[in-house]
Amino acid sequence: MTVTLADDSTIAAIADQIVRGGLPAPSTDIPDLFDLDHEDSAALIHGRSTWHHDKDTNLVMPIMAGAAEEIEQPLGSLTFNWSAVGAAPSKQSLLIPGRTLHRRLVLRIAGTWDQSVGAETQATEGNPVLWDSIQLNLDGRIVRPIKGAVLFEWNRIMQKGAGPKTDPTTGVASGKAFSTTLYLDFAAGDLQDEVMTDKSGNPRLERPKELTYIDLSNYANVQLEIQPGPFSRYVSGSTQANMTATVTVTTTEVYGPVRRPQKHYSLLPMQTADMTTTGTDRSLPLSPKQTSIRGLLLRVGTLSSAPIVTAITALANVGVRTRLIAGGLNFPKPKQAVGLYQSAVGFERNGIALTNGYVWIDFASDLRWRSMLNGNAYAALDLIYDAVGTASTNMEVYQVCLHQ
């Protein structure tokens, strides 16, 4: 096949139209790479100007000359004020415009408060615990909802280290500053590229991380929604005043083929277990259907206290049991001491340790797409565990999975 490259002036002339959603594919005027996918074409003509033709939409998209295909765009900022320590500000939203793919949102959070009396007690997870829900609203459908503290811990796992976070020293002071950065990543975690074989027996490079980018061309109205919780989740007492925080949001846009149907890679909240009484061989049913499951993230502690305290004390042993549709029990993760999983998370992740109260159970520690559990193969999927009765303690279970 002969590849003809478009010159830079052609790209510049219609770039603003391309950004707004692409152009209809012309019959002969603009050259394209009809037989190559986006990744192959970019590799073939690295650093040169060309076009990618998307067969599904019949749109021609540019591969920019001498520039990255990712663009960092500021979306804006939201400011939240707490009227009282026990009150929660109203939910706010931020429009995500455009018709491109979005790789991730970066939320840079900075806030202050005045402490008038005594030394407050701060939450185990620090200031990310303030954010009760961070989620996307896609034409009225809520997807990827996650708590700020859980998102911070998930970022630690995926990035092999903790992200930026600052909490002030305790005690009386005015303008006590806190900050954190949260990454709402739409890619499929840390899964690696794989060479697979298609139906004809030909090798093909699969890039699973890119399959779950959010494609705004699938939706008419996309909003980022943020719901804070009471300030008392972060600090104790009723001696705080002038509590405020600003969330500044940036998105990473990517030019490439459409994602249709849209797939999501999410931490889905599955269950909340009461850990106040001692018990062995307890089980919590999870949801395997129509999902590929990467792992389970557990959060244990006094999750309704002021402030919130996470601790692993109430969870002694944990594992995963499945029942195949074809019959028979299977134990992909036999029940073992929770300390095993707490130490395993650091393997090939720079020896990291999660915040006290968190446990990561990984079904694909080799980072391979094929190692994830195929939920459709199971009639049942259960978390099995032994609890040590601890007052006011609960365990939240999040299922990390690919779904539509």
Same domain, 105 and 250: yes
Distance, CA of 161 to CA of 298 (rounded, Å): 18
Rounded to whole angstroms, the Cα distance separating 327 from 325 reads 5
401 backbone φψ class: left, alpha, beta (φ>0; ψ -120 to 50): beta
Q: Do 303 and 335 reside in the same domain of the chain?
A: yes
Judgement on whether residues 103 and 128 belong to the same structural domain of the protein: yes
Domain assignment of residue 33, yes or no: yes
The predicted structure's pLDDT at residue 74: 93
| Residue 149 and residue 223 share a domain | yes
Residues 234 and 296 reside in one and the same domain = no
Same domain, 113 and 15: no
pLDDT in tens, the chain (404 residues): 333 444 445 444 444 444 444 444 333 333 332 233 444 333 333 333 345 555 555 555 555 444 446 788 899 999 999 999 999 999 999 999 877 888 899 999 999 999 988 889 999 999 999 999 999 999 999 999 999 999 999 999 999 999 999 999 999 999 999 999 999 998 888 888 777 777 788 887 777 777 888 888 889 999 999 999 999 999 988 789 999 999 999 999 887 667 778 888 889 999 999 999 999 999 999 988 888 899 999 999 999 999 999 999 999 999 999 999 988 888 999 999 999 999 999 988 889 999 999 999 999 998 888 889 988 889 999 999 999 999 999 999 999 998 87
Contacts of 120 (CB under 8 A, 6+ apart): 170, 235, 236, 237, 239, 240
Question: Domain span at residue 84?
Answer: 70-190+214-254
* Residue 320 sits in the same domain as residue 396: yes
pLDDT recorded at residue 62: 54
Same domain, 243 and 281: no
Largest CA distance in the chain: 75
**What pLDDT is stored for residue 159 in this prediction?**
92
Residue 203 lies in a domain: no
How many whole angstroms separate alpha carbon 288 and alpha carbon 380? 7
If asked whether residues 342 and 290 sit together in one domain, one would say: yes
Q: What is the CATH number of the domain that holds 180?
A: 2.70.9.30
Residue 275: CATH number of its domain:
2.60.120.20
Given this model, what pLDDT does residue 328 score? 85
In-domain check, residue 199: no
* Residue 135 counted as domain residue: yes
Residue 79 lies in a domain: yes
Is 240 in the same domain as 368? Answer: no
Q: Is residue 205 part of a domain?
A: no
Can you say whether residue 291 is alpha, beta or left, with left for phi > 0 and alpha for psi between -120 and 50 degrees? beta
Spell out the residues 6+ positions from residue 295 whose beta carbon is closer than 8 angstroms to its own.
Answer: 360, 361, 362, 363, 364, 400
323 within a domain of the structure (yes/no): yes
Domain assignment present for residue 140? The answer is yes
158 and 33 in a common domain: no
Total number of domains constituting the chain: 3
Regarding whether 104 and 139 lie in a shared domain, the answer is yes
Distance, in Å, from the CA atom of 113 to the CA atom of 262, rounded to the nearest integer, reads: 41
- Chosen domain end from 48, 63, 78: 63
